[in-house]
């Protein structure tokens, strides 16, 4: 079964309490349960992770490349400036694994600094603005791309 890590960046451990008008009322545990459930639907072994640490995110990309795991990534604020994470994301593609970028909100419709993603040029595809549904669609894409 294809392994997929669903990696969430800084402050996403605060889902449910952080700006619920922007990110919704559901927390990261609900996201975990939903992703695992969707994984069963799509025949994927899904593991949901979250960290506030850039180095940890980079190391998870190395692990994905080394272990042939597909990646769904919400890089959170790292989206807008982490070249280290962009370089690490590239290694996942070099390992012939898809990497889907997901954002719960639509960063293009928000602050000026959110309009640039340094991850998008590296990602297989990007889904924004659809709440948790974006993760489901990204899992469907991974299932299709790795079948
Ligand atoms: C986010 C959008 C980013 O701009 C922000 O820094 C986040 C969450 C989203 O899911 O909409 O932390 O990635």
CA angle 59, 62, 64 (to 5 degrees): 110
Told to judge if 42 belongs to the known catalytic residues of this protein, a careful annotator would answer no
The domain total for the chain is 1
Catalytic residue among 23, 81, 83, 90: 23
Q: What is the pLDDT along the chain (147 residues), one digit of tens a residue?
A: 999 999 999 999 999 999 999 999 999 999 999 999 999 999 999 999 999 999 999 999 999 999 999 999 999 999 999 999 999 999 999 999 999 999 999 999 999 999 999 999 999 999 999 999 999 999 999 999 999
d(CA 51, CA 11): 8
Catalytic residue among 42, 83, 103, 135: 103
Handedness of CA 120, 51, 128, 92 (dihedral sign): positive
Residue 44, strand partner residues: 2
Judge whether 114 is annotated as a binding position.
yes
Q: Quote the domain boundaries for residue 75.
A: 2-145
**Measured distance between the N- and C-terminal CA atoms of the chain, rounded to whole angstroms:** 10
Residue 112 near residue 136 (C-beta atoms within 8 A): no
Judge whether 117 is annotated as a binding position.
no
* The residue count for the chain: 147
How many angstroms does the Cα of residue 24 sit away from the middle of ligand 1? 12
Q: How many other CB atoms are there within 10 angstroms of residue 37's CB atom?
A: 11
The domain that holds 29 is classified in CATH as 3.40.50.9100
């Amino acid at each position: 079964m294809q392994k997929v890590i669903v990696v969430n960046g800084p402050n996403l451990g605060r889902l449910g309490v952080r700006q619920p008008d922007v990110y919704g009322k559901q927390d990261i545990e609900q996201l975990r349960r939903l992703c695992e459930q969707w994984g069963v639907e799509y025949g994927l072994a899904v593991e949901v992770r979250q960290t506030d640490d850039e180095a940890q995110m980079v190391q998870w990309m190395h692990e994905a490349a080394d272990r042939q795991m597909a990646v769904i990534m919400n890089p959170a604020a790292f989206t807008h400036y982490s070249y280290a994470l962009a370089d690490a994301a590239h290694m996942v593609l070099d390992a012939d694994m898809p990497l889907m970028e997901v954002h719960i909100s639509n960063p293009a419709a928000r602050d000026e600094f959110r309009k640039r993603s340094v991850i998008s040029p590296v990602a297989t595809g990007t889904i924004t603005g659809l709440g948790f549904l974006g993760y489901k669609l990204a899992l469907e894409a991974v299932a299709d791309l790795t079948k």
